[in-house]
Structure 1
Amino acid sequence: MTGTEENPAPPAAPGFRLAYVPGATPAKWVRIWRERLPDVPLELVPVSAAGVSDILRGGAADAGLVRLPVDRTFFSAIPLYTETTVVVVPKDHAVAAVEEVTLDDLADEIVQHPLDDVLEWAERPPGQPAFERPATTADAVELVAAGVGLVVVPQSLARLHHRRDLTYRTVTDAPGSDVALAWPEERTTDEVEDLIGIVRGRTVNSSRGRTQAPAERPAKKKPATPGKGGAGRPQQKAAGGRKQGGKAQGGRQAGGKRGKPRKRS
């Protein structure tokens, strides 16, 4: 609803938009955000791995969980973790009988290479190429289920596209996929700093996080100097002629070490 000069519209509630690519799991950090910043709504923006850069550049999201690499001349990025790479196979495939394989073990297999592949291959993907590249990883998994080859993906994508008739095994020498928190460097806002503190595991009392700075406390009162009263006045003599504080009996200043009290005759 738009307002008028007499009745201006209330300002929009502040919020933060976090994009995330398929396979990334922001749930833990979202939960911490909502505990620490209940007055700042956090909106999740699902986006493809290929499209996340444009989303962040255009301002449709404030930060994103992305797969590296990204353009480091424009984005700041904090690597979070590296995913294990796996090969997705039918449950009755020979690969399913072992715990892990190497790229050489896949050399004679047809390996689907989807157009949205997120792995950075040094030369070319393993195995024999299929007649045509599927458009998406989801399409490639469907082909594997139909008995047409295998597909090598980050483990989170194998889980995302899980099917009961498929399984996956670790590929020990395949490149991993690095997941990072990225944002436009020139738009490093206070909320971005808050999120950085959360993904880095800083506690609520950390001095590095914006929301973690402790409230100012009143200065502590200076302890009273021994031998003086509340306002700097000498303390009154106690019964028996002894002063309270740093004076010895009879008004003499006490020495460095206190001796045993004399016995009275």
Structure 2
Amino acid sequence: MTGSPAPRSFRLAYVPGVTPAKWVRIWGERLPDVPLTLVAVSAAEASGLLRDGGADAGFLRLPVDRADLSAIPLYTETTVVVVPKDHVVAAVDEVSADDLADEIVFHPLDDPFDWERPPGRPAIERPATTADAIALVAAGVGLLLVPQSLARLHHRRDLTYRPVTGVPQSRVALSWPEDATTDLVEDFIGIVRGRTVNSSRGRRPAEPAQPKEDRAGAGGRQRQSRTGRSAGRAQSAGRAQRGASGGTKGGGRRGKPRRRS
């Protein structure tokens, strides 16, 4: 971890489909004096932005080059196929890659998947972006496989989507330049990993432990207090017993005198 001074703000990049609102909110609660700036970036440009210092950290999709970027995988997204609402796929709950064998499936240049062989039949040309491919799907030209978050991002009333089995899935990770792991980057890593404010990995120290002698003194005072309470209860019990005996030397009650005949 570098010892450089903390910057005036923290810049967080994110690729389309990722929603960083929860982590941004926690940041604002824990570090209200350090503004967090969101930087929207395309999936293709995300790694370069981090390398060039355009952001301190970022949410992007794996894989990334681990030679100079660190990455913490966070979650895996469901892969879905986007289809027109009147398409036969819309009538089922999910489909497999084999079910799409006869369909034209677009493979845009910013496709987040690392395909060995994309399912379906390839289009004549590859769309430049996912948004362009979505427009072609709406025109009834073909279908598109994307992470579910991108299907939600590009939602249209005339389109729907269904989960697809037997295909790659997109993994989202938090990444940052390995040689720029600042204190603020460590703070954000702690937030993403769910660490508490007083975590041993955090920068905010926990409450100091009570010295041993203080703990011993407190224990002794507690024992003395318990002993005093026990003695008091014993004295009270003795007084109650003497009161029940009527205060006589014999300790018994006198019987009723017999009447003379």
TM beyond 0.5:
yes
Preserved contact between residue 6 and residue 183 of structure 2 (Cα < 8 Å): no
Mapped to 2, the partners of 1:138 and 1:187 lie a distance apart of 33
Normalised by the length of structure 2, the TM-score is 0.79
Q: Which runs of 5+ in 2 are unaligned?
A: 222-226, 229-237, 239-261
Mapped to 2, the partners of 1:87 and 1:183 lie a distance apart of: 31
Q: Tell me the distance in 2 between the aligned counterparts of 1:227 and 1:119.
A: 67
Please state if 1:28 is matched with 2:27: no
The higher-RCO structure (CA 8 Å, 6+ apart) is: 2
The answer to which structure has the higher helix fraction is 2
| Separation of aligned partners in 2, 1:92 and 1:21 | 30
1:79 aligns with 2:96: no
Shift of 1:219: 4.0
**Among 79, 92, 103, the residue aligned to 2:97:** 103
Q: 1:173 aligns with which of 159, 166, 171?
A: 166
Give distance in 2, aligned partners of 1:224 and 1:189.
Answer: 43
1:48 equivalent to 2:47? Answer no
| Residues matched between the structures, number | 225
Cα 1:226–1:143 shift into 2, 3 Å: closer
Question: How far, CA to CA, are the matches of 1:66 and 1:224 in structure 2?
Answer: 55
1:226 Cα deviation from its structure 2 partner? 9.6
Corresponding residue to 2:147 among 145, 154, 165: 154
Corresponding letter in the other structure for 1:167? T
SS at match of 1:159: helix
Structure 1: runs of 5+ lacking an equivalent: 1-10, 229-243, 246-260
Letter in 2 for 1:179: V
Letter in 2 for 1:52: A
Q: Does residue 1:214 correspond to 2:203, yes or no?
A: no
SS in structure 1 at match of 2:113: coil
Q: Specify the alignment match of 2:235 in structure 1.
A: none
Question: Any conservation in 1 of the 2:95–2:164 contact (CA below 8 Å)?
Answer: yes
State the Cα distance separating 1:204 from its structure 2 match.
Answer: 1.9
Match of 2:186 among 181, 193, 203: 193
C-alpha separation between the residues in 2 aligned to 1:130 and 1:226? Answer: 79
Distance 1:219 1:119, change over 3 A: same
**1:15-48 deviation per Cα after TM superposition (whole angstroms, max 9, x unaligned):** 1000000011101000001001101100000000
Q: Give 1:13 shift.
A: 7.0
Q: Output the CA distance in 2 between the equivalents of 1:116 and 1:70.
A: 15
Q: 1:203 to 1:143 in 2, by over 3 A?
A: same
Residues 89-115 of structure 1 deviation map (CA, whole Å, 9 limit, x = unaligned): 000000000000000000000011101
Structure 2 residue 136 is matched with structure 1 residue 136: no
**Of 31, 36, 46, the match for 1:37:** 31
Whole-Å separation in 1 of the counterparts to 2:220 and 2:84: 87
RMSD: 2.8
- In the TM superposition, structure 1's runs of 4+ consecutive aligned residues that sit over 3 Å from their partners are 215-220, 222-228
Report the 3-state secondary structure (helix = DSSP H, G, I; strand = E; otherwise coil) of the residue aligned with 2:73: strand
2: distance between equivalents of 1:22 and 1:60? 17
Report deviation, 1:155: 0.4
1:226–1:130 distance in 2 versus 1, CA, 3 Å: closer
- Greater Rg by CA: 2
Distance in 1 (CA, whole Å) between partners of 2:73 and 2:193 is 10
Residues 225 and 99 (structure 1), Cα distance of their counterparts in 2 relative to 1, 3 Å cut: closer
SS in 2 for 1:80: strand
